[in-house]
C-alpha cells in the first residue's frame, strides 16, 4: 500500500473571470514519478503555484503528509519538503555554484556570518546526492542551462525535498543533458522522493512517467497509469479532438521558379547543409527537438543570425541575408517564438503594434505620419484578421494570446511579405483561436505566399502544412508530404526519430 504524500482535493481557481482550474483533485504518492501534461493555458502552472503556496485556491484543500492546509503558505510548502524548480531556476548569476546551493540553508538558519568551508561542504554533499560533479567556485552565470538546472536540483535536495516539481525541465536541454536528467529523476525516486514532471512532450511522458495526469481547460481529464495510455490517447485528451482530417491541399504544380531556394545552407554551431525549395502557395513545416537547429535556421533566413555558408535564392536570384533589414528587403517576414518579448510592444497600442512595419507607406508628402491613413490601415487589419478589440488604441497586452498572435501576424502582413516564417504560431493560444490562426495561415498561402511553420506540435503541422521537414542535430534528416502519410504513422516516425536521437 503506497503512502500518499500530497493530496489536492477539489481545487478551483479563477483569475479576473477566467476559470484557470476547476475542481481538480490529485494525489501524489511517495517516491512516484507523475507527469502533469496539458497544453499551454490548461492550468498546469496555476496548479504548481497552488501546491507551492504562491496562489491561494478559491476552493478546495491541500493535504500534505496527512496535514490539511486550507491556506498553504510558501513557507509551509517548503517545510513540508515541496521544492519547485521553475523554468527560470531563481539562481544568482553573479554568485558561485557553492553559494547558490547553500544560500537558502544559511538564510533559513539565520546565520549572520559566512563560513566558506561550511558552504562548500553543504554544496558538495548536495551535488553528491545527485551524483554530479560541478566546479564549486565557478560563477553560475557562466554555466550552461543544463548545469544551472542541476544546481537548482541540488539546491532542492539540500533542503530535504520530499516532492520535487519540475516545470518543463527539458525545454532548453540537449539530448545528452536530458539523459542525465532522467537518470537523476530515477535516482531520486529510488530514494523515496516523489517527482511531479510537468511537460507537454509525449516522448518524455512515455519514457519517465509511472502515472499521467492530463489537464485541459482547467479540468482534469485523465489520471491513469502511463502503461495504459497511448500517444494518440494522450494527444486526444490534451487537445480535446482527434487530429483533424482537413489537411492543407497544395494544388498548384511546382513549376517555374521556387520562391525560396536554400542550397547547402550552414551556420557553424547551429545547422549544416540545409537545402530545400519553397514554392508560392506552399506551407512547409519544420520540426525537431529544441537544439535541433530549427529556430536557428529561421533566424538565419530572417538575417538575425546569418548563415555563414551556402546560398539563399529568392526568385532564382542568389541573395545575401546578413541583417534583418536584408531579409525584409527580400520580402521575408518572421513571427517569433516568444511573442511577449520578441514579437510585441506590450505597453503600446494594438494599432502601433500593427503599423510598425508598414509605417513608411503611411507618410504624407512632408514625411509625417498621416493620422487618417494610419487609422484606416489599423482598422483594415483589425477587420481582416478578426482581432477582437473594442478599441485599437488599447495596449496590446490587454488582448488574449490568440488575438496577440494575430497582431504579430498583422504586423508582417501589413508590410506585404512574400515569404512568412512562423515560429510556434499557436503556442499559448486557446483551442478556438488556434484553428482560426491555422485558417489565416492557409488563406495566406492560397494567396501565393510561401510559408514556413516551425513547430513541435505534430497535429498542428499535419493540419497546416503540405510538407514537413524533420531536423535533427542541425541537419535535415527527412521530408514528408502530409497527404502521403497517416497521422499516426508520422507521429510514430517523428517520436521514433526524436526519441532515438
Partner 1 sequence: MANVQQRQTTTPPAGRISIGHLLQTNGTSVRLLVIVIALFVLFSLLRPDAFPTFRNIQSMAFQASEIGILAIAVAITMLTGGIDLSINSTANLTAVLSALILTYVGPSSPALAMVLAIGAALIIGPICGAFNGFLVAYVGIPPILATLGTLTLYQGIGTVITKGAAIFGIPEFQWLGNGEIAGIPFPFIAFLAIAAVVGIILSRTKYGFEVYLLGTNPVASRFSGINNRSVLMRTYILSGLLSALAGLIILGRTNAARVDFGESYVLLAIMICVLGGINPAGGLGRIFGVVLAMIALQFLSTGMNMALFTSSGANFFKEAAWGATLLIVLLVEYFSNRQRQRRISEK
Partner 2 sequence: MATLRRLLARQEVIIALTIIILSIFIGLVNPSFFSIPNVFRILRSGIIVGMFAMGVLIVLISGGIDVSFPAIAVSAMYITVVFIRDTGIDSLVLSFVVAGLIGLALGLFNAFFIALFKLPTLIVTLGTLSLFRGLLLFFVGSQRIRIAEVSPVLSDLSRGNLITIDNPAGGVANLHIAFVFLVVLAVIVWLLLRYTMLGRAIYAMGGDLEAAERVGFNVRRTQFFIYGFVGLVAGITGIVYCSLSREADPFSIVGIELDVIAAVVLGGASIMGGRGTVVGTLLGVLLITLISSSLVLLGISSDWQRFVVGILIIIGTSIPVLQLRQRQRTQSAAQAV
Binding site for partner 2 (CB under 8 A): 90-95, 99, 103-104, 106-108, 111-114, 142, 174, 176, 268-272, 291, 293, 473-474
Burial of 489 (0-12, 13-18, 19+ CB in 10 A): exposed
Nearest distance from C-beta of residue 404 to partner 1, angstroms: 12
Distance between CA atoms of 385 and 259, rounded to whole angstroms?
25
Q: Is 342 in the site for partner 1 (CB under 8 A)?
A: yes
Q: Is 431 in the site for partner 1 (CB under 8 A)?
A: no
Q: Is 369 in the site for partner 1 (CB under 8 A)?
A: yes
Q: Given the complex with partner 2, which of 174 and 237 has the nearer CB atom?
A: 174
Q: Is 296 in the site for partner 1 (CB under 8 A)?
A: no
Nearest distance from C-beta of residue 43 to partner 1, angstroms: 21
What stretch of H or E contains 300? helix 294-301
Q: Given the complex with partner 1, which of 330 and 438 has the nearer CB atom?
A: 330
Q: Is 1 in the site for partner 1 (CB under 8 A)?
A: no
Q: Given the complex with partner 2, which of 373 and 473 has the nearer CB atom?
A: 473
Q: Is 18 in the site for partner 1 (CB under 8 A)?
A: no
Nearest distance from C-beta of residue 89 to partner 2, angstroms: 9
Q: Given the complex with partner 1, which of 140 and 344 has the nearer CB atom?
A: 344
**Among positions 18, 318, 371, 486, the unique one binding partner 1 when judged by CB under 8 A:** 371
φ, ψ of residue 195 to 5 degrees: the values are -125, 130
**Among positions 47, 248, 250, 334, the unique one binding partner 1 when judged by CB under 8 A:** 334
User: Of the ranges 42-50, 108-116, 212-220, 351-359, which one interacts with partner 1 (CB under 8 A)?
Assistant: 351-359
Q: Is 340 left (phi over 0), alpha (psi -120 to 50) or beta?
A: alpha
Q: Which residues pair with 13 in a beta bridge?
A: 21
Q: Is 182 in the site for partner 1 (CB under 8 A)?
A: no
Q: C-alpha cell of 108?
A: 533559513
**Among positions 112, 325, 383, 484, the unique one binding partner 1 when judged by CB under 8 A:** 325
Beta strands at 163-167 and 194-199: parallel, antiparallel or unpaired = parallel
User: Of the ranges 1-9, 123-131, 312-320, 348-356, which one interacts with partner 1 (CB under 8 A)?
Assistant: 348-356
Q: Is 180 in the site for partner 1 (CB under 8 A)?
A: no
Length of the chain: 501
- Do residues 310 and 262 lie in contact, with contact meaning Cβ atoms separated by under 8 Å? yes
**Among positions 120, 200, 267, 411, the unique one binding partner 1 when judged by CB under 8 A:** 411
From partner 1, partner 2, none, interface partner of 395 (C-beta below 5 to 8 A by class): partner 1
Q: Given the complex with partner 1, which of 41 and 351 has the nearer CB atom?
A: 351
DSSP secondary structure string, 349-406? BHHHHHHTTTGGGGB-TTS-B-HHHHHHHHHHHHHHTT---S-TTSBGGGS-HHHHHH
Chain centroid, CA 492 distance in Å: 21
Q: C-alpha cell of 5?
A: 504524500
- Do residues 311 and 318 lie in contact, with contact meaning Cβ atoms separated by under 8 Å? yes
- Do residues 58 and 14 lie in contact, with contact meaning Cβ atoms separated by under 8 Å? yes
Radius of gyration of the chain (CA): 25
| DSSP tag of 339 | I
User: Of the ranges 171-179, 357-365, 424-432, 441-449, which one interacts with partner 1 (CB under 8 A)?
Assistant: 357-365
Distance between CA atoms of 406 and 342, rounded to whole angstroms?
14
Q: Is 381 in the site for partner 1 (CB under 8 A)?
A: no
Nearest to 475 by CA among 266, 312, 308, 300: 266
Which parts of this chain interact with partner 1 (CB under 8 A)? 16, 304, 324-325, 327-328, 334, 336, 341-349, 351-352, 356-357, 359-360, 363, 367-369, 371-372, 374-375, 378, 393-395, 397, 411, 415
Amino acid at each position: 500500500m503506497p503512502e500518499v504524500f500530497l493530496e489536492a482535493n477539489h481545487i478551483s481557481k479563477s483569475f479576473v473571470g477566467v476559470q484557470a482550474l476547476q475542481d481538480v483533485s490529485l494525489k501524489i504518492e511517495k517516491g512516484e514519478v507523475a507527469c502533469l501534461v496539458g497544453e499551454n493555458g490548461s492550468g498546469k502552472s496555476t496548479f504548481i503555484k497552488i501546491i507551492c503556496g504562491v496562489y491561494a485556491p478559491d476552493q478546495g484543500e491541500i493535504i500534505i503528509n496527512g496535514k490539511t492546509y486550507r491556506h498553504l503558505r510558501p513557507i509551509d510548502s517548503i517545510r513540508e519538503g515541496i521544492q519547485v524548480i521553475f523554468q527560470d531556476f531563481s539562481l544568482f548569476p553573479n554568485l558561485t555554484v557553492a553559494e547558490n546551493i547553500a544560500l537558502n540553508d544559511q538564510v533559513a538558519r539565520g546565520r549572520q556570518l559566512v563560513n566558506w568551508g561550511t558552504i562548500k561542504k553543504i554544496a558538495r554533499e548536495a551535488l553528491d546526492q545527485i551524483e554530479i560533479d560541478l566546479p564549486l567556485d565557478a560563477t553560475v552565470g557562466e554555466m550552461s542551462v543544463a548545469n544551472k538546472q542541476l544546481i537548482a536540483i541540488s539546491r532542492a535536495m539540500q533542503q530535504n525535498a520530499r516532492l520535487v516539481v519540475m516545470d518543463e525541465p527539458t525545454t532548453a536541454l540537449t539530448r545528452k543533458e536530458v539523459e542525465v536528467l532522467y537518470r537523476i529523476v530515477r535516482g531520486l525516486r529510488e530514494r523515496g522522493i516523489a517527482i511531479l514532471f510537468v511537460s507537454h512532450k509525449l516522448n518524455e511522458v512515455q519514457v519517465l512517467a509511472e502515472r499521467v495526469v492530463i489537464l485541459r481547460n482547467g479540468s482534469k481529464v485523465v489520471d491513469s497509469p502511463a502503461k495504459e495510455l497511448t500517444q494518440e490517447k494522450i494527444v486526444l485528451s490534451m487537445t480535446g479532438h482527434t487530429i483533424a482530417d482537413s489537411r492543407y491541399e497544395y494544388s498548384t504544380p511546382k513549376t517555374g521558379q521556387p520562391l525560396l531556394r536554400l542550397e547547402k545552407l550552414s551556420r557553424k554551431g547551429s545547422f549544416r547543409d540545409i537545402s530545400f525549395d519553397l514554392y508560392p502557395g506552399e506551407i512547409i513545416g519544420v520540426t525537431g527537438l529544441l537544439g535541433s537547429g530549427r529556430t536557428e535556421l529561421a533566424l538565419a533566413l530572417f538575417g538575425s543570425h546569418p548563415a555563414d555558408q551556402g546560398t539563399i535564392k529568392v526568385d532564382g536570384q542568389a541573395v545575401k541575408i546578413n541583417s534583418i533589414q536584408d531579409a525584409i528587403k527580400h520580402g521575408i517576414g518572421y513571427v517569433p517564438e516568444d511573442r511577449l518579448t520578441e514579437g510585441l510592444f506590450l505597453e503600446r497600442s494594438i494599432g502601433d503594434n500593427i503599423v510598425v512595419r508598414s509605417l513608411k507607406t503611411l507618410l504624407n508628402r512632408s514625411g509625417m505620419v498621416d493620422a487618417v491613413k494610419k487609422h484606416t490601415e489599423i482598422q483594415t487589419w483589425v477587420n481582416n484578421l478578426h482581432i477582437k478589440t473594442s478599441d485599437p488604441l488599447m495596449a496590446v497586452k490587454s488582448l488574449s494570446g490568440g488575438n496577440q498572435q494575430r497582431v504579430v501576424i498583422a504586423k508582417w502582413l501589413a508590410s506585404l511579405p512574400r515569404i512568412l516564417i512562423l515560429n510556434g504560431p499557436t503556442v499559448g493560444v486557446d483551442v478556438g483561436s488556434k484553428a482560426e490562426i491555422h485558417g489565416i495561415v492557409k488563406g495566406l498561402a492560397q494567396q501565393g505566399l510561401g510559408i514556413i511553420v516551425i513547430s513541435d506540435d505534430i497535429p498542428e503541422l499535419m493540419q497546416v502544412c503540405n510538407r514537413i521537414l524533420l531536423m535533427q542535430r542541425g541537419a535535415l534528416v527527412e521530408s514528408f508530404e502530409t497527404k502521403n502519410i497517416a497521422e499516426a504513422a508520422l507521429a510514430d516516425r517523428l517520436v521514433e526519430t526524436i526519441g532515438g536521437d
